[in-house]
Amino acid sequence: MELAAKKERALGLLAMLATLLIWASFFISLRASGQSPLTVGDIALLRFIPAALVFGVLSLPKTNQIKATPKRYLLAIAFGAGLPFFLLAANGLRLAPVADGASLIPGILPLFVSSIAAYCYREKISHIRKLGIGLIFIGIGLFIAHSLSSGQHQILQGHGLLLAASFSWAWYTIGIRVSGLSPIVGGAILAISACLLLPVFYVMDWVEFNVMAAPASDVVFHLLIQGIAAGIIANFSYGYAISRLGAEMSAALGSFTPVVAAVMAVVIFDESLTLTTTLAMGMIVIGALSASEIIKLKPMVIRSLAKPTSQ
């Protein structure tokens, strides 16, 4: 019995390691897109079409459940982690280093989720969570101070977009939890909505496409990282890790994404890690670890909010 438990834990840790590598590769891929003929619109196509096809088919039996879900929760899922989030993250990473993006998007997430949960759902915040939020604030301040002191206003603009992306993802986190929908169904909603929005954004001249003129190697690289790995595999590996390790430990391990992404960026892009950047990243990681339970709304709140209401 004990041997089986150890095996399950080891498999969960392997799944979480795979998830961390995929999440870090997601940021590396977005950063690399700035050096490629592929546009942000092209990367979005490669990111969302495979997920829309796979999760769309898997979610067909849940059609009635989706229809019964309050529309505000569906909007939070679709816009929070769909095309709007992706455009904010992609454009932010074209202006800021990978370490900044990997720290600010998942690292600041507990701060925004806490604010939304406390303000909208009257969720109480424990002292340890408040400590974590305080450390996150310090990390943000260090990032901003570093950009201002070095005169890198372009990076500061990137930080603004990355913070907006994190705030958007926080709404997705709240939406998926209070809706009662599974991650696969949520993945179908955000991916299909993104595919429907892409032509609308194209007509409005918010995105452009150049995928047919780009090198095949670039297309295959981003398809594998964005579409297959981040869009599909990470959903399964993260869910598997949660089932074996628990949500709390999985969320805590997920806060190491900035560290993994930063190491990969140093090797791939020769990005340097200054003392200030390292301190800021460390503060955010420690803060996220302290506030890792913040993404859990109370079961009673979840049950009451997940009940379908008339639209």
Residue-wise pLDDT for 252-280, tens only, equals 677 788 888 888 888 888 877 888 888 88
Count how many Cα atoms sit within 13 Å of the Cα of residue 105 in the half-sphere of its side chain.
Answer: 33
Highest average pLDDT, of 82-86, 102-106, 281-285, comes from 82-86
pLDDT 10s digits, 92-108: 988 888 878 888 887 77
**What is the sign of the dihedral through the CA atoms of 74, 190, 232 and 161?**
negative
Q: How far apart are CA 32 and CA 38, in angstroms?
A: 10
Q: Please report which residue ranges of the chain form alpha helices under DSSP H.
A: 2-33, 40-58, 63-68, 71-81, 83-93, 98-121, 127-149, 153-179, 183-203, 216-222, 234-245, 247-254, 257-269, 275-290, 299-306
What is the percent of the chain where pLDDT is above 90? 29
The amino acid present at 150, given as its one-letter code, is S
User: Domain-by-domain residue ranges, the chain?
Assistant: 2-306
On the question of pLDDT at 161 being above 90, the answer is yes
pLDDT at 306 over 50: no
Q: Supply the Cα-derived Rg of the chain in whole angstroms.
A: 19
> Average of pLDDT values for 158-185?
85
234: pLDDT confidence band, cut at 50, 70 and 90? confident
Instruction: Give the whole-angstrom CA distance, residue 301 versus residue 100.
Output: 34
Of 110 and 180, the one with more pLDDT: 180
Report the pLDDT value the prediction gives residue 265, as an integer from 0 to 100: 87
pLDDT recorded at residue 117: 67
Residue 162 has pLDDT above 80, yes or no: yes
The whole-number pLDDT of residue 121 equals 61
The per-residue b/e assignment along 52-68, b for 16 or more CB within 10 angstroms, e otherwise, is bbbbbeebeeeeeebee
pLDDT higher than threshold 70 for residue 189:
yes
Q: What is the pLDDT of residue 120?
A: 67
288 pLDDT exceeds 80? no
**In this predicted structure, what is the pLDDT of residue 296?**
47
Band of pLDDT at residue 242, cut at 50, 70 and 90: confident
For residue 303, what pLDDT is reported? 43
Please give the pLDDT value at position 298. 44
Question: Could you tell me the end-to-end alpha-carbon distance of the chain, in angstroms, rounded to an integer?
Answer: 49
Q: What is the mean pLDDT of the chain?
A: 82
**In this model, does residue 284 exceed pLDDT 90?**
no
Measured CA to CA in angstroms, residue 217 lies from 86, 169, 220, 275, 282 at distances of 22, 30, 5, 36, 35
In the numeric block, the tokens 């989706």 are attached to 66
**pLDDT the model gives residue 301:** 43
Looking at residue 295, its pLDDT comes to 44
pLDDT on residue 123: 64
pLDDT digits (tens, 9 = 90+) for 20-61: 899 889 888 888 887 788 999 999 999 999 999 999 999 999
Of residues 293 and 294, more confidence is placed in: 293
CA 131, 137, 140 angle in degrees (round to 5)? 145
The pLDDT value given to residue 199? 95
